[in-house]
Amino acid sequence: MLSLPAAGFGPSSHPVFSFSQLSNYPRSKNASILSVSPRTLHFQHWFPILEPDLSFTSNFICNTTLLAYQGSTFAREELPPVWSYCDAHNDCVLGSISESDKASMAATSVLLGLTPTILSGLGPTVAEVSLLSLRRPLLASLISLGAPAIYPS
């Protein structure tokens, strides 16, 4: 039996997700009720800051879609036809969290997407590594191996 998290996270602060939204997938196939999910390790760990909110949403509000994703035939029979139980649970979780949490995750993904570009700008250029390799070849090799990306000059 699942226990409710600490105060501040309860049904009053979360909107109720309508499972009728899941049948609006513009796809032609339906996931089989008896199919086994290839990886049921998703939806267990979350971003540390959003962990309490997302865990409550996943385990309590979207419990039916989570159980369907994990392979429960009873939960799969309750859901309308869907293409993927993983997508159904993902839509349920994202439909139940606040817009500020969604904006926070979007900003984080943009920052993580720009990280390689930022690190390549901080790294040495090809010309600098080649000049260093004339005097200190071992140091130049270690720097080029340790650089996350090469800054084009």
pLDDT of residue 4: 41
37 against 59, higher pLDDT: 59
pLDDT band at 44 (very low <50, low <70, confident <90, very high): confident
Q: Which of 34, 100, 107, 93 is nearest to 61 (CA)?
A: 93
CA distance 35 to 102: 31
Say what the pTM is: 0.59
For residue 124 the two structure tokens come to 């040495």
Average pLDDT for residues 35-39, to the nearest whole number?
61
Task: Express as a percent the part of the chain with pLDDT over 90.
Answer: 18
pLDDT at 90 over 50: yes
Q: Which of 88, 84, 87, 153 is nearest to 120 (CA)?
A: 153
- Within 8 A by CB and 6+ apart from 9, the residues are 52, 53, 56
> What are 98-139's pLDDT values in tens digits?
899 899 889 999 999 998 888 888 888 888 999 999 999 999
Domain ranges across the chain: 11-97, 104-146
The pLDDT of residue 11 is above 70: no
- Residue keyed to tokens 């084009």: 152
